[in-house]
Amino acid sequence: MTSAKISATAVENGWPQLKSQRAWGPFAVFSTSVSTAIATWCFIIGGFAAYYLPAGQGTLAVLAGSLIGILFIVLACMPASAKYGIDAVSGSAPQLGSRGKSLAVVLIYLATLGWNVYLFVLLGRAVVSIGGAFGAQLPTWTVGLAGIAAVAVVLVLLRKGAAAVRNFSQVIAIAVLILAFVILALLINSAGMSSLLAAPAVAPWEEPSVNWASAMEVLIASNLSWWAYTGAMVRNSPSARKSLWPVVLGLGLAVGVGSLTGLYGGLLVPDSAGDPTQFLVDVGGPVFGVIALAFIILANIGTAVVGVYAATLAVRQLAPVRKTSWTTSIWIATLPAFILAGFFAQAVFDNFSIFLAFLGIAFAPMCGMQIVDYFFLRRQQYDVGALFSAKSSATYYYWGGINPVGMVAFVAGVATYLYLLDPVTYVSRAPFQFTTASIPTILVAGVIYWLGTKFILIPQNKGGYTQKTTAPGRTF
């Protein structure tokens, strides 16, 4: 097998990549991150924050929540992914076990599926708005039809794997970033700064601190979902140092900036819920509105390419899927999105808040465990071979391939989140108003994992905590 073929196989199956095989420089990571971050979902996230805070306070909460969320991602999954050239699923084996990492596959699949479905639905809404700008009242099923067409486009683009993700993202990243600023300026110009600052929150809680925590939680939980995406991108970069600021700026800050457009749109056009496809033609005129909507469609496809790529990498960690071709794996990863976006578009759109809460519930515990494990227990060293071995003698086999400490820590984190915040009603309990829900979840999962490792795993000589692991730079 040629070196090119070996490299391609490693990319497709999520195997560790040699540094010499990683072709993504800082700009490739940044452009892919921006393309991933700034899509219509940012506008909806910001529109959700508009329920709780007015423009001034909301701006601070949105930016702060974005940076806090990306901080945990940078600490949890980026170092190992960049160091060993692995994706997020492989990086979870030390905490969950060689078979337990299937939980990470499920979480990534559900998260990327959810984001992709929303992208396809919002893309369809943009198509309907373009039709309206030309005086055509398109039927509601047009949203689903456009979503199905978008899925087909993504399938075609992803046939070439990681190269398609990088090349397509670099083409549209700058245009998408400029578009977000232009929409922002149009909103302020059309309504006036004084009107924006005077606009009240759409549906705030009575207690101000709860509103602050709720708005920040929306952004923290949203950025925690980058756990599913970061590994898929950073594993193609030769070092964490070269990926750090591209990820922080391209994923973290870009989400905040993009969400400001949704925040202001949600305050000025409350019925829009921040979705610019519902007001772009009105504030920018038909010509600009149609052009901007076309860019939104392009941006959503670019983001969906990254999401489907991450989902495909995740499902190919499962042996039955790994035996199929890359194209078949893409179909497996996208089929539910095809169905949901095509036939249940409105139901998907109406349950966005529940999906946001799921992101915090799913990835906050994982971040807590990985930060504690990688930095404080393993001293930034993994046994790379064991990440991909299901043998009973493998370092991360634990008991039957499952790390019970990791599972208990994960469940404890989920219970903490559910206690602090109801994901359906968004009714909270103290001390949510001071801590949000994601931050305590990260802390609880991390502490329990540390205690379980110290008092159960290490005494039982499980997990490789007492042995020397692969030295950095010798093989990978």
pLDDT per residue as tens digits for the range 273-304 = 777 777 777 777 777 777 777 777 777 777 77
How high is the pLDDT of residue 367?
96
Quick one: DSSP state of residue 470?
Answer: P
Whether the pLDDT of residue 244 is over 80: the answer is yes
**Which CA distances in Å does 147 have to 135, 302, 385?**
21, 14, 40
Whether the pLDDT of residue 163 is over 70: the answer is no
How high is the pLDDT of residue 376?
95
Phi/psi class of residue 398: alpha, beta or left (left: φ > 0; alpha: ψ in -120 to 50)? left
Find, among 377, 355, 360, the residue nearest to 462 by Cα. Answer: 377
Higher pLDDT, 240 or 260: 260
* CA atoms of 390 and 63, how far apart (whole Å): 42
Q: Omega before 26 cis (within 30°)?
A: no
DSSP string, 332-354: HHHHHHHHHHHH-HHHHHHTHHH
Length of the chain: 476
Q: 137-151, 159-173, 187-201, 414-428: which range is least confident on average?
A: 159-173
Sign of CA dihedral 429, 431, 435, 439: negative
Quick one: DSSP state of residue 471?
Answer: P
Q: How confident is the model at residue 118 (pLDDT cuts 50, 70, 90)?
A: confident
How high is the pLDDT of residue 476?
34
Give the tokens for residue 420: 């602090």
Phi/psi class of residue 87: alpha, beta or left (left: φ > 0; alpha: ψ in -120 to 50)? beta
DSSP string, 178-214: HHHHHHHHHHHHHH-HHHHHHPPPSS--SSHHHHHHH
**3-state SS string over 220-251?**
HHHHHCCHHHHHHHHCCCCCHHHHHHHHHHHH
180-222 pLDDT per residue, tens: 778 788 888 888 899 999 999 999 999 999 999 999 999 999 9
How high is the pLDDT of residue 471?
44
* CA atoms of 267 and 197, how far apart (whole Å): 9
Amino acid at 444: V
* CA atoms of 400 and 99, how far apart (whole Å): 8
Whether the pLDDT of residue 455 is over 70: the answer is yes
* CA atoms of 409 and 217, how far apart (whole Å): 21
DSSP string, 386-441: GGG---TTSTT-TBTTB-HHHHHHHHHHHHHHHHHB-TTT--B-TTHHHH-SHHHH
* Helix-helix angle 102-133:141-157, to 10 degrees: 120
Q: How confident is the model at residue 472 (pLDDT cuts 50, 70, 90)?
A: very low
Do 253 and 155 contact (CB within 8 A), yes or no?
no
Quick one: DSSP state of residue 376?
Answer: I
Whether the pLDDT of residue 75 is over 80: the answer is yes
Do 168 and 158 contact (CB within 8 A), yes or no?
no
Most confident of 157-161, 232-236, 248-252, 437-441: 437-441
Amino acid at 246: P
Quick one: DSSP state of residue 95?
Answer: H
Do 55 and 263 contact (CB within 8 A), yes or no?
yes
In the structure, how many helices (H) and strands (E) does the chain have?
Answer: 23, 0
Range 74-85 average pLDDT = 90
Whether the pLDDT of residue 386 is over 50: the answer is yes
**Residue whose entry in the numeric block shows the structure tokens 């030309």:** 134
**Which CA distances in Å does 368 have to 61, 355, 382?**
22, 20, 17
Domains and CATH numbers, the chain: 20-352 (1.10.4160.10)
Helix (H) or strand (E) holding 127: helix 102-133
**Residue whose entry in the numeric block shows the structure tokens 């999520």:** 14
Q: Within 13 Å of residue 450, how many CA atoms lie on the same side as its CB? A: 13
Using DSSP, state whether 447 is helix, strand or coil: helix
Whether the pLDDT of residue 473 is over 60: the answer is no
Do 396 and 97 contact (CB within 8 A), yes or no?
yes
How high is the pLDDT of residue 12?
53
The number of angstroms, rounded, from the C-alpha of 55 to the middle of its chain's C-alpha atoms is: 25
Higher pLDDT, 3 or 203: 203
Find, among 261, 278, 257, 268, the residue nearest to 349 by Cα. Answer: 278
**Average pLDDT over the chain, rounded to an integer:** 84
454 CB contacts (<8 Å, ≥6 apart)? none
In this structure, what are the phi and psi dihedrals at residue 428, rounded to the nearest 5 degrees? Answer: -115, 165
Find, among 215, 179, 180, the residue nearest to 66 by Cα. Answer: 215
Find, among 358, 113, 89, the residue nearest to 221 by Cα. Answer: 358
Do 239 and 25 contact (CB within 8 A), yes or no?
no
